[in-house]
Amino acid sequence: MSITVQIPTPLLKLTGDRSEVTADGADVKELIEDLEENFPGIKERICDETGQVRRFVNIYVNDEDIRFLQRENTPLQDRDRVSIIPAIAGG
Amino acid sequence: MKLREDQIERYSRQIILSEIGGKGQSKLLEASVLVIGAGGLGSPAALYLAAAGVGQLGIVDSDRVELNNLQRQIIHSTGDVGRPKVDSARDRLHSLNPDIRIIPYNLRLTSANIMEIIEDYDIIVDGSDNFPTRYLINDACVLADKPLSHGAILRFYGQVYTILPGESACYRCLFPEPPPPGAVPNCQEAGILGAVAGIIGLLQANEVLKYILGAGKLLNGRLLTFDALDASFREVKVLRDTDCPVCGDRPTITELIDYEEFCQL
């Protein structure tokens, strides 16, 4: 299984400046664990202590916000495209 | 309103567009737009809105021009360093288009002054540079039922989104809470490519022009993101959150709050 993940600007340091990586997982929770194995430190930037996605970070599966799907339990399929989009404030 | 000869000449290249015409140009000349921040986003947005003949342009900023602004804040020039940004912006916009009214607000927006200011405008452009101001602007626009163009930038990346209160998701529906201080760097800490500010600021101007003209499809309900390094745009869906504290079905925020405290500052 191969899922494409878009990495946002504030997290690029953790992926060695790669803005697109591939990862595996049957659902979003597993995908984040897989990202953490390859890019240590990324999970705590995306999730809080309870494992929930932080309130200023959104995760989209094929352009749909997981908050309106099944949140961290949203299932993933091969070739899905996941985007991680945090709030930024620069102007 | 009847266009003068010089107006027909000045705006001729957009009047010939069937989506605009004399009627659309009159709409632009009768419109009022408030640009918040005369910085990286506000500079290009205000310049293009002024050039297009938006009749009343308010500019809000409490800062003075610094040399390190000029790499992206193209409304200001080297000779403006040290001047209030709103004065510098007013002069530049006036020399570009003396046909329009420019109203400078040399102040910092707060819960106490924002409602009175946005009241006079048809649509608001958020080109601010911090989370407390962004949530303040969002809540004020929802409470006052004012359309809002949101833009934000960092390094080689930008986001644009249009909020039509009552119709499409607001900024809180998109991001319910701000990051804690230090969790997401700002442009001063992390840098910004000037061209990215230009692209996102112009997308905001483009949204405003379409809104005034009633032309095309707005970015309401979809967030557009831009990555300058691979020159790619992407969009994701933004749904209205029925539990949103300000625009949801049972709002708990019915007047402006303390936004510094909300952002833990």
ipTM of the complex: 0.95
pTM reported for the whole predicted model: 0.97
Distances (CA, A) of A33 to A51, B27, B173: 10, 53, 27
The residue among A68, A9, A46 whose CA lies nearest residue B226 is: A9
Domains and CATH numbers, chain A: 3-86 (3.10.20.30)
Half-sphere exposure of B198 (CA within 13 A, CB side): 10
pLDDT, position B30: 98
Judge contact between B127 and B40, C-beta under 8 A. Answer: yes
Judge contact between B114 and B60, C-beta under 8 A. Answer: no
pLDDT, position A55: 95
Judge contact between B238 and B114, C-beta under 8 A. Answer: no
* Contact criterion met (CB < 8 Å) for B153 and A6: no
pLDDT, position B150: 98
Q: What is the pLDDT along chain B (265 residues), one digit of tens a residue?
A: 899 999 999 999 999 999 999 999 999 999 999 999 999 999 999 999 999 999 999 999 999 999 999 999 999 999 999 999 999 999 999 999 999 999 999 999 999 999 999 999 999 999 999 999 999 999 999 999 999 999 999 999 999 999 999 999 999 999 999 999 888 888 888 899 999 999 999 999 999 999 999 999 999 999 999 999 999 999 999 999 999 999 999 999 999 999 999 998 7
CA–CA distance, B55 with B204 (Å, rounded to integer): 17
* Contact criterion met (CB < 8 Å) for B236 and A60: yes
pLDDT, position B188: 85
- B225 → closest Cβ in A54, A56, A85: A85
* Contact criterion met (CB < 8 Å) for A89 and B227: no
* Contact criterion met (CB < 8 Å) for A55 and B128: no
- Size of chain B, expressed as the number of residues it contains: 265
- A91 → closest Cβ in B151, B179, B236: B151
The DSSP element (H or E) to which B118 belongs, if any, is: helix B114-118
- Show me where the domains of chain B are located: 31-262
- A19 → closest Cβ in B229, B236, B238: B229
B228 min Cα distance to partner chain A (Å): 11
Range from A67-71, A87-91, B230-234, B261-265 carrying the lowest mean pLDDT = B261-265
Distances (CA, A) of A9 to A13, A17, A28, B130, B227: 8, 9, 20, 17, 9
pLDDT, position B227: 96
> For residue A40, is pLDDT > 90?
yes
pLDDT, position B182: 82
- B184 → closest Cβ in A67, A83, A88: A88
On whether any CB of chain B is under 8 Å from the CB of A8, the answer is yes
On whether any CB of chain B is under 8 Å from the CB of A62, the answer is no
CA–CA distance, A9 with B129 (Å, rounded to integer): 17
On whether any CB of chain B is under 8 Å from the CB of A54, the answer is yes
pLDDT, position B265: 79
pLDDT, position B189: 85
Q: Is B187 exposed, middle or buried (0-12, 13-18, 19+ CB in 10 A)?
A: buried
pLDDT, position B186: 84
Which chain B residues have a beta carbon less than 8 Å from that of A58?
174-175, 236
- What's the CATH number for B31-262? 3.40.50.720
The residue among B47, B48, B55, B5 whose CA lies nearest residue B25 is: B55
pLDDT, position B121: 98
* Contact criterion met (CB < 8 Å) for B129 and A55: no
